Amino acid sequence: MAGVVGAASVAWPFIDQMQPDASTLALAQVEVDVSSLQKGASLTVKWRGKPVVIRYRSDKELEEGKAVKLSELKDPIARNANLPSDAPATDANRTVPKKEAWLVMVEVCTHLGCIPLGEQGEFGGWFCPCHGSQYDTAGRIRKGPAPENMAIPVYEFTSDTVVRVG
């Protein structure tokens, strides 16, 4: 019994050092006040070392997103961590219920990890100038070499004006 206690006391510092430090845990979630955003505007925050865009989509962007048929999409999967992994990439499935005007998305091209330019390209969403991938106003890949829609992280509105990512 004493040997087990001794071994555990020796091993614990090694096991404990594998736990994430406080700065890593702090990056696990980020809360963002979006009260200053007007329709058609966006802001980008850093979460887990990646840019996350929060866009308050205009009525036109919403209409365009809803009008796209799933058969027109290169990637028919929503890629929304808030939904089942096989959820279809409808405009509504790229957001959360009752907050469809708000798009919260990891702003990284799914081709080679570049950062696409917002409000650009043929579909008015995001354009990656590195290799020409074009995303629509819901962050769905429409043209170019990118294989998937941009990812939607786990997020929730904790109030009407605060979004918690992570």
Rg, the chain, Cα only: 20
Written as six digits, the tokens of 25 are: 């845990």
Contact 131, 3 (CB under 8 A): no
| Sheet of strand 141-143, all strands in order from the earlier edge strand to the far edge | 117-118, 126-128, 133-135, 141-143
Active site residue 111: no
Task: Give the active site residue among 39, 60, 66, 131.
Answer: 131
Q: Using CA atoms, how far apart are residues 95 and 88, in angstroms rounded to an integer?
A: 12
Q: How far apart are CA 134 and CA 113, in angstroms?
A: 14
Nearest to 62 by CA among 30, 34, 94, 36: 94
**Residues classed as catalytic:** 131
